[in-house]
Amino acid sequence: LATHLGLALFRQGLTVLQVYNRTPGKGRKLAARINALYTDNLSDLVPGADLYILAVSDSWLGQLVSRLHLKDSLVVHTSGSVELEILSPVSSRTGVFYPVQTFSKHRKINFRDIPICLEAESPESEMKLTKLAERLTRSVYLLDSGKRGLIHLGAVFASNFTNYLYSIAELLLRENDLPLNILEPLILQTARNVRRGNLFENQTGPAVRGDIQVLEKHRRLLADHPDYHEIYELISKHIILNRSLNGKL
Amino acid sequence: LATHLGLALFRQGLTVLQVYNRTPGKGRKLAARINALYTDNLSDLVPGADLYILAVSDSWLGQLVSRLHLKDSLVVHTSGSVELEILSPVSSRTGVFYPVQTFSKHRKINFRDIPICLEAESPESEMKLTKLAERLTRSVYLLDSGKRGLIHLGAVFASNFTNYLYSIAELLLRENDLPLNILEPLILQTARNVRRGNLFENQTGPAVRGDIQVLEKHRRLLADHPDYHEIYELISKHIILNRSLNGKL
């Protein structure tokens, strides 16, 4: 995230003064790309910047806040699941700047379409962060830590868990010398259909049809994979259960 | 599927002689759009056509085959999970024509990108179906019933179950007056990443990071949804388990 955010700010003509990273190899590389200073030493941070962005993992964030003292400078973290209050020891002016997207180093990301969830300790900080976010993206949401946490939980179901289901499909196919790309158009269309909403009402597949024969066949195919079988049973059970709640029985 | 397939064949300049549907409303509408005859009576089927396509649900297919006798005409079904042999009572020349995609009536589908899995009782029938499929799509796969069944099982994980996870996210957000479209770019990017393969190695989220604090927070958020909680626990458990198998601990 730090890399993508740094590049996006730089491309918008904003000045990134300094990059801090514990690992010089990574930090220097980003700093060079965006004409910024680099340091691996927290006590060398340039003081008095307009904004400090802590784009680090949740666990490292917990350690960082006890070692950073930035007085009255605006400081934000970028985590979906961590409360605003964690930053209280760092500064009197705090915020959250959470882009709802999955980032990987070697893939370009266009920030224009990425929702950014903001929170701040005061209307002034909120205004400042809103202006910044609006330079990067079309969709800015002002949300408190509770609502942001729900977005993050939704993201775990809709992205992390989904990727795990894709992994299962990949492995089942690979074991049988079948390429995963047979499923790609289906996977993309299923994701595109999210736009329509009412997703449970549009559920398809053997479980929602109550197709016992196919369910039985799949159980047999999964006999050698007790872990996948367990997931298959549980999700099918819930789909069937929901179907009856929705009055489809 | 029948509608989309009928339209795609028609657009390719192929003649669809006749549409059979138990429900006249649906059948007549499709027939009119593709200049075909319509019947709701199996005994009125035009004899001697080059191909009969049984694009019906698995359960209805089981009933249909006992009532259809088409001698030596080529007959195919379009199901991912049903074996070729189910068609043996219908004709001596049989095949499967399975497009790996999710179809809904009110959405246009471009067949060019849809993989079609073929199977046939003889090389002659296989050749005939291959020629037809290649008029509709760029990706044609010749697969026996066993491999096709695995593709279908993979599709259940990667599409049906995925849609169910999207539904959970939708409900969690809706309950809190949050729109699902905050998650859309993330969902689409996660789906696009399938192209990279090695999906488990690219797994993200609290479970694969072993982030106990976030897992605990999510459990609390799911306290009122025992069913979603159960799914959360199980998938997280398997992600953590796989992580250690992959030597990430």
Q: Supply the ipTM of this predicted assembly.
A: 0.94
Collect all residues of chain B within an 8 Å Cβ-Cβ radius of residue A166. Answer: 157-158, 162, 190, 194, 199
CB contact (8 A) between residue A164 and residue B203: yes
Q: Helices marked H in B1-57 — which ranges?
A: 2-11, 24-33
For B225, residues 6+ apart whose C-beta sits below 8 A from its C-beta are B172
Chain B's closest residue to A172, CA to CA, is B154
Q: Which residue has the higher pLDDT, B159 or B213?
A: B159
What tens digit of pLDDT does each residue of A82-104 get? 999 999 999 999 999 999 998 87
Cα–Cα distance, A36 to A49 (Å, whole number): 13
Distance from CA of B61 to the nearest CA of A (A): 13
DSSP code of residue A52: E
Q: What is the pLDDT of residues B176-210, one digit of tens each?
A: 999 999 999 999 999 999 999 999 999 999 999 99
Q: Buried b / exposed e across A223-234, counting CB within 10 Å, b at 16+? A: eeeeebbebbeb
The stretch B150-170 carries a mean pLDDT of 98
Q: What share of chain B is helix, strand, coil (3-state, %, to 5)?
A: 55, 10, 35
Interface test with B, best of A172, A182, A219 (most B CBs within 10 A): A182
Radius of gyration of the CA atoms of chain B, in A: 23
Question: Which pTM value belongs to this model?
Answer: 0.93
8 A C-beta contact, residue B93 and residue B101: no
Q: Is the pLDDT of residue B224 over 50?
A: yes
CB-CB neighbors (< 8 A) of A189 in chain B: 101-102
Question: What average pLDDT does the segment A4-17 reach?
Answer: 94
Question: What would the pLDDT profile of B53-79 be if each residue is shown by its tens digit?
Answer: 999 988 889 999 999 999 899 999 999
Burial status of residue B96 (CB atoms within 10 A of its CB: 0-12, 13-18, 19 or more): buried
Q: Do A185 and B115 lie within an 8 Å CB cutoff?
A: yes
Q: Identify the pLDDT of residue A110.
A: 84
Portion of chain B with pLDDT greater than 70, in percent: 98
Q: Give the model's pLDDT for residue A247.
A: 58
Contact residues for A75 (Cβ-Cβ < 8 A; gap 6+): A51, A52, A54, A68, A87, A90, A91, A93, A94, A95
User: Chain B residue with minimal CA distance to A214?
Assistant: B81
Considering only CB atoms, which chain A residues are within 8 Å of B164? 200, 203, 235, 238-239
Position B247 confidence tier, pLDDT thresholds 50, 70, 90: low
Considering only alpha carbons, which residue of chain B is nearest residue A106? Answer: B196
Tell me the pLDDT of chain A averaged across its residues. Answer: 93
- Note whether B182 contacts A81, CB cutoff 8 Å: no
Inter-chain Cβ pairs, chain A and chain B, closer than 8 A? 291
Which of the four pLDDT bands, split at 50, 70 and 90, describes residue A249? very low
Contact present, A2 and A36 (Cβ < 8 Å): no
| Closest residue, chain B, to A229 (C-alpha) | B157
Paired tokens of B137: 């799509």
List, in sequence order, the alpha helices (H) in B81-225: 123-136, 145-155, 162-175, 184-192, 206-209, 212-221
